[in-house]
Chains A and B, each alone.
Chain A
Amino acid sequence: MIELLITCVYTLACVGMGQLALSALAGHEWPPLSASSTPHLAGRFILGQAVLAAIWVPIGLVGWFGPVVIVGTLATVIGLSASQLFPLLRNTLSWVRSFFKWLRGERVGVQLFAMALALLIFEFGAAAWIMPPRGDAEAFYIPYARVIAATQRIELMPGPYEYLSSIGLMGELHFGALISLANVSSAKFFVFPLAVSAAAMLVAICSEAGVGRMGRMIAVAMLFTTTAFTHHIFDGKTDLFPTALGLMAVWLLLAAGESVPVRTAYAVAGLCTGFALMAKFSYALGFLPAVCVFLVWRQLTNGTSIVQVSGSKFRSGAMVVFAVCAVAATVPHLAKNAVLFSSPLAPFLGGSEDKSWLNQAWFTPEVTRRIVLSYPFALVFGRYPGQSGNLSYLLLAFLPLAAWLPRPTHLSKSKLTELCLAGAIGTISWIAVRPSMIAPRYYLPTLLLFYPLAAKAAEQVLIKEAPFRWLGAGIMAILLSALAVFSYPLLPAVRQVPNALLGRLDPCVLASPYCEPLITMNRQAEPGDRIYFAGYYSNWLRTDLLQCRNDLADSQALETATDAAGRWAMLYARGFRYVIIDNTSRLPIVSLLDPSTIPPWLNVNEILKTKELSVLRLSNRAHDQKVERDCVQDASHMWHVKRVS
């Protein structure tokens, strides 16, 4: 329970940081806090968490990323922004009250839909807290954050994934800070307020595009039935950080000159775009073109708010402000890579020699052609390996209803047209450059730009359909069934909430099959034991074991050794006391480590075996073999693999 409280305080500090950043950027230009300030609260949080992560970078690089500095920073931020935080929270509460007042006057069906939607969102919150890390988060994101928290320093990630340390570390640093203050559950739960803020940004975009309250609720339902979005609420990955930033950038560009002053809107949108690009490089291919459409659209169309409010000469000035702020947002990331890889532009220039992961082709030309030809269905129903989530089927279900929307009098003034054009250009750009990578998460904000159109179309039918309202009833039925379908898989997590509240939650409940054997392994291994981990999902190992595990050089030495018996000897000489083989993902190593070729002086015992994992312990029968490497702890409590003289 205390972990949730810590996440809430951390979230509050992010809001405060956003407030301070906006005060510094815009002074009094930012709109005053009105009763309807939801996007402003969410916006402060999204911007604030990005700025806070940027502050963690230099602190982490110098090795001060410990609980004292983290708590001191959070307390300072909350203290400096407290006078502005309380009115913000009070106004948000009054917005909630006004929403319920509106809901009370609505039909039962709408009330039922709102309740079901709120319940689904609550369930995702429970899942974010309860569900253990899964997939890539279990292999990279969470273990890296745990090591950062344990060492209080940003270093290359130990093990074979060190090249991945060159990506943006926004989410990982928040996770590291929260693990340092509490635990992994607290870190994972932080994604939930971020997801809700992203939803608030989608609502704000809908609002700018003229979608009414019912339509905005439909858009939120669509978002929370988008598995490319919802999977990352609870799996421990960091994809929602750039998604929220991307949506905020879009909202600001739409609102520029109307609900937000132009210069401020472009400055903050630039920051958000820069932060989003650094948090997810793939956004440069799928999201940046969409942002460019907004910028160019506003330059070209006459009669837009920018021209009206600020005069034409300011338009290019606003573009410069946008570009400068976008570049400024990349500086912490570039500094991090300059220190870790001696190359600010790593992984694109410098850094790891192996750059194949930057230019992947997932499928054969035939499958790729099929994927491209089956858009948009591939985005909604596709189950391709690596896709990891889809768009909501409500999008496809409601889009045809858009044919009955009235045509806008001026196409250039229609924000729905602008959104769809930006979405289309961004999507086409992605397909053109990465046709085989069918993964909505790689440019999710771009794909979400189609949601307001579908939501508005469904809303129009619900409100304006003449009796008998068959279609409206159908829409409500589809919406409610979608919420039910998405609630069902979350029930196991919700059932664990009482156990978690009482502090009786088994760490391996709902976890992958790697949890139990690796936790057992933790009890057996001595501090600083080297483990050759031939698998992906290392999250469950202790942080000293993670720091001492095999690196790229060890893997290469094993793979290039020609002598079968020599491989076993090489493992022992490099200081490995355990070998963990993931039989499901690293089969080639089984043939490399043939038990029949074990040298007579080496004792190899299989101490643990599950369907997925084999754990072998290596020991020297006569204690007469020399060891070349050992893992030792330095004065700053970090573990390093060193040569033994």
Chain B
Amino acid sequence: MTNRESPELQVGDRSDESSLRMPVVIKALLLAWMGANAFIFVAVSISPDWPIATVLPELMLRARHVLLSLFIN
């Protein structure tokens, strides 16, 4: 394994003392996001036709439609 990692990329190194601080709300949102992904994956695996399986793609589609209409108008 090469150890030639650029110094500015060593953010994961333990020698970097600065700690990562986030508001609790952001942490909760990130946790919810991770959990949602895991849940949807399991849902899709069990039953591809389960409505929950299409929630994230559907939300993404709607968000894109809104964004597109904003830009076009």
A contact residues vs B (CB 8 Å cutoff): 36-39, 95, 203-204, 207-212, 214-215, 255, 258-259, 370, 373-374, 377-378, 380-383, 393-394, 396-398, 400-401, 404-406, 408-410, 413-416, 456, 459-461, 463-466, 470-471, 474-475, 478, 481-482, 485
CB B10 to nearest CB in A, in angstroms, measures 6
Q: Are B21 and A396 in contact (CB under 8 A)?
A: no
Measured in the bound complex, the distance between the Cα atoms of B36 and A98 in whole Å is: 37
Measured in the bound complex, the distance between the Cα atoms of B12 and A215 in whole Å is: 8
Q: Are B9 and A416 in contact (CB under 8 A)?
A: yes
CB B9 to nearest CB in A, in angstroms, measures 3
Q: Are B37 and A397 in contact (CB under 8 A)?
A: yes
B contact residues vs A (CB 8 Å cutoff): 1-6, 8-14, 16, 18-22, 27, 30-31, 33-35, 37-38, 40-42, 44-45, 48, 53, 56-57, 60-61, 64
Q: Are A212 and B13 in contact (CB under 8 A)?
A: yes
Cβ of B5: which chain A residues have Cβ within 8 Å of it? 207-210
CB B62 to nearest CB in A, in angstroms, measures 10
Q: Are A210 and B61 in contact (CB under 8 A)?
A: no
Measured in the bound complex, the distance between the Cα atoms of B60 and A424 in whole Å is: 18
Measured in the bound complex, the distance between the Cα atoms of B9 and A464 in whole Å is: 14
* Chain A minimum-CB-distance residue to B31: A474
How many A-B pairs have beta carbons closer than 8 Å: the answer is 132
Q: Are A374 and B57 in contact (CB under 8 A)?
A: yes
Given contacts A39-B1, A475-B34, 12 further A-B contacts (CB under 8 A): A204-B1, A374-B60, A374-B61, A381-B44, A381-B56, A405-B11, A414-B8, A461-B20, A465-B19, A471-B22, A485-B38, A485-B42
Measured in the bound complex, the distance between the Cα atoms of B44 and A476 in whole Å is: 22
Q: Are B8 and A482 in contact (CB under 8 A)?
A: no
Q: Are A378 and B19 in contact (CB under 8 A)?
A: no
Q: Majority SS of interface residues in chain A?
A: helix
Q: Are B8 and A464 in contact (CB under 8 A)?
A: no
- Contacts A258-B2, A466-B21 known; A400 to B12 CB distance under 8 Å? no
A–B pairs, 26, beta carbons within 8 Å: A207-B2, A209-B9, A212-B13, A258-B2, A259-B4, A373-B60, A374-B60, A380-B41, A382-B57, A393-B41, A394-B37, A397-B33, A397-B37, A400-B30, A406-B11, A414-B9, A460-B20, A465-B19, A465-B20, A465-B22, A471-B22, A474-B31, A474-B35, A475-B34, A485-B38, A485-B42
CB A451 to nearest CB in B, in angstroms, measures 15
